[in-house]
Chains A and B, each alone.
Chain A
Amino acid sequence: MNWSAIASIYRFEMARFFRTLAQSFLSPVLSTSLYFVVFGTAIGSRIQEVEGVSYGAFIVPGLIMLSVVTLSISNASFGIYFPKFLGTIYELLSAPVNFIEIVVGYVGAAATKALFVGVVILITATFFVDLRIEHPLAMVAFLVLTCLSFSLLGFIIGIWAGNFEQMSLVPQLVVTPLIFLGGTFYSISMLPPVWQTITLFNPVVYLISGFRWSFYGLADVPIGFSLLAIVVFTGICLGIIWWIFKTGWRIRS
């Protein structure tokens, strides 16, 4: 294992994050505050408690997931797409590194950045609502696994993308709708029965449900299913990345 290469890639990617630290820090704080103002206060004041939890507090896990998933994808896709775009990927391909080391370096850095923002949002939320975390270990595990798995997805998107437009295509057209329809702002029990069944085909439901369970002990689907979903999703992403490096698809001619 080329640990030095992993550390170098990780450090190099994190340096990009630290160059724009204020932006990285302020942006999630501002957007989360806006969500709380709009959904938590303006709209939330008209909504009853959801299963014994105030609406403002109810949406916190979903809001964290919304940002963490989006950022994981964008960080990782940008991280690997930028060297392709600039041509600096030649160095990575000609270095004594294997795909595991490349993935650990890039995905590790992308997940770390998303995790940082997730924690910032969590802290910001405490200024607006009373939070309780019933299963802190599970909360950390879900947060870390989400950062990692969606960073893996972002890495795949970054390799697949042929231009900047394609890079934002999947997050905007697929991931964001799935998150919004995945119970970020509501419990699926609030939906009509038919829609409840349809919603169960949305993988993000399992993610948000599991994460919300770690806060309030409330879940739309059994916690085991949530854990299984995220593990399977991570496995699929890893399999695709293994295939990409084995065949050299879009990176090695």
Chain B
Amino acid sequence: MTTILSIRDLRKSYADGFEALKGVTLDIRQGEILALLGPNGAGKTTLISTICGITTPSSGTVTVGGHDIQSDFRAARRMIGLVPQEIALEPFEKVWNTVRLSRGLFGLGRDDARIEEILRKLSLWDKRRNAIKELSGGMKRRVLIAKALAHEPRVLFLDEPTAGVDVELRKDMWEIVAELKQAGVTIILTTHYIEEAEAIADRVGVIDKGELLLVQDKNTLMAQMGKKQIEVMLTDPIASIPDSLAAHNLTLNGNGDALIYTYDTHADRTGITTLLNDVAQAGLILRDVQTRQSSLEEIFVNLVSGEPA
């Protein structure tokens, strides 16, 4: 797949010596959705701000569609749309005018039909004559997206697009992102919500303390790093695990009515068959069996804390 955005050894240090980015290298493929996960202060927003021109990099290079963000900033920035984390809009301005301003800033001529199309897609058409201050928080977020799309960018950065929004709006946002991907837009989003990355991303990047810990296909990541557990629920609770089952390294849940077995999905032998046979041999009667795969959140927490998943 073609690389649309290439980041090489990108560093950002501030005057007080704080290193917000410590040599980030990353290639983003055309048409993909990349989710950048990381705790507060990890460097997610600094990375986006540096690529978009809001922050000046200390060293390293970034190219967008082959255009360097510093030496060829006009061509690079024309390809980029940014939806910031904070709702930053002029309260007294009308929706239509503020979206039109965005298009003009990026050097494109007036195109009312295009703006209408964007506003309709984002359910903002009825609000086009409203002042921003009259809109709800969710609508304001949509206006930010409309502004970012006004110049038809090929790469869209969404910095925590669903932070502080209700579940319904979050789902709407996911749909919007899916539609944009369908339209061929490359999307890079930062998020705190693991389920967001899990639901919509093609690849996941984990960033912490200014370093990119990993970037991987979401499904591969989960398959490689995810633990799988089988929960064997018993009809009658037991006080302790029988000695005959000690070899399986089981844990007993708090109620004593379920045995939990953790196994590697990639091992040649998972040991499930032997376990179930041994459970039956021990005279325990099964009520139910459930399997559970570790979520991206658990993988993320383990990565950031430096523990194996």
The answer to whether B56 and A248 have CB atoms under 8 Å apart is: yes
The answer to whether B108 and A4 have CB atoms under 8 Å apart is: yes
The answer to whether A90 and B88 have CB atoms under 8 Å apart is: yes
Q: Is B77 an interface residue (CB 8 A)?
A: yes
Known: A5-B104, A5-B105. A94 touches B54 (CB 8 A): yes
The answer to whether B106 and A5 have CB atoms under 8 Å apart is: yes
Q: Is B287 an interface residue (CB 8 A)?
A: no
The answer to whether B107 and A88 have CB atoms under 8 Å apart is: no
**What's the minimum C-beta distance from B13 to chain A, rounded to whole angstroms?**
11
The answer to whether A8 and B93 have CB atoms under 8 Å apart is: no
Known: A8-B101, A94-B52. A86 touches B108 (CB 8 A): no
The answer to whether B55 and A96 have CB atoms under 8 Å apart is: no
Known: A12-B101, A88-B90, A252-B56. A95 touches B108 (CB 8 A): no
Closest to A102 in B: B105
Closest to A87 in B: B88
In B39-78, the 8 Å CB interface with A consists of: 49, 52-56, 73-75, 77-78
Q: Is A130 an interface residue (CB 8 A)?
A: no
Closest to A83 in B: B90
Q: Is B7 an interface residue (CB 8 A)?
A: no
Q: Residue A90 contacts which of B75, B82, B108 (CB distance < 8 angstroms)?
A: B82
User: How many of chain A's residues touch chain B, expressed as a range?
Assistant: 20 to 34
Closest to B148 in A: A91
Alpha-carbon distance between A121 and B78 when the two chains are bound, in angstroms? 43
In B80-114, the 8 Å CB interface with A consists of: 80, 82, 84, 86, 88-93, 97, 100-109
The answer to whether B55 and A91 have CB atoms under 8 Å apart is: no
List the B side residues contacting A96 at CB < 8 Å.
73-75, 77-78, 105-107
Q: Residue B147 contacts which of A16, A86, A91, A252 (CB distance < 8 angstroms)?
A: A91
Q: Can you sample 11 A-B contacts with CB below 8 Å?
A: A8-B103, A8-B104, A11-B101, A11-B104, A87-B88, A91-B88, A95-B106, A96-B73, A96-B75, A252-B54, A253-B49
Supplied contacts A2-B107, A90-B82, 9 more A-B pairs, CB within 8 Å: A5-B106, A15-B93, A91-B105, A91-B147, A248-B56, A252-B56, A253-B49, A253-B54, A253-B55
